[in-house]
Amino acid sequence: MASAGHTVKGHCLCGAVAFSADVAKLEVDACHCSMCRRWAGGPFIALSCDGELRITGKDHLATYRSSEWGERSFCQTCGTSLFWHLVGSDHYALSANTLDDQSGLVLTSQIFIDEKPGFYEFANDTPKLTGVEVVAAFEASKGGES
């Protein structure tokens, strides 16, 4: 687990599902992959959490296994996209847009940049990783397991 530096809290639109977690940094990433854009209605901007994710309202939480290595959770009452989870790990990507306090968040990278459509561009100058680079990093973090 990453060393905790900040406690963040968030919830869905209707309030049926809420969560809190300890995160090491207030750095967010933007994912431009086609699945995230379809799921979140645009780039999925997320805060990394490595460790325990405390959830209330679990009976309203639905999870969809969207790939071999990832699953997405959302409120089944209002549909809010809440977090992405790396299967077989304690790594979560929490939707920055569901956080109660977004002050201090800084966009530090963009992933799946090769899938970003041409109709938008972020002004932030961040590192940009392709899908191949991201998948390789996930596989390395799982010890080569798929």
pTM for this entry:
0.90
| DSSP line for 44-71 | EEEEEEES-EEEE-GGGEEEEE-SSSEE
Q: How far apart are CA 93 and CA 77, in angstroms?
A: 21
Write out pLDDT tens, residues 2-36. Answer: 445 899 999 999 999 999 999 999 999 999 999 99
pLDDT at residue 69 above 80? yes
The pLDDT of residue 143 is: 62
The pLDDT of residue 4 is: 57
Q: CB-based burial of residue 56 (10 Å sphere; 0-12 exposed, 13-18 middle, 19+ buried)?
A: middle
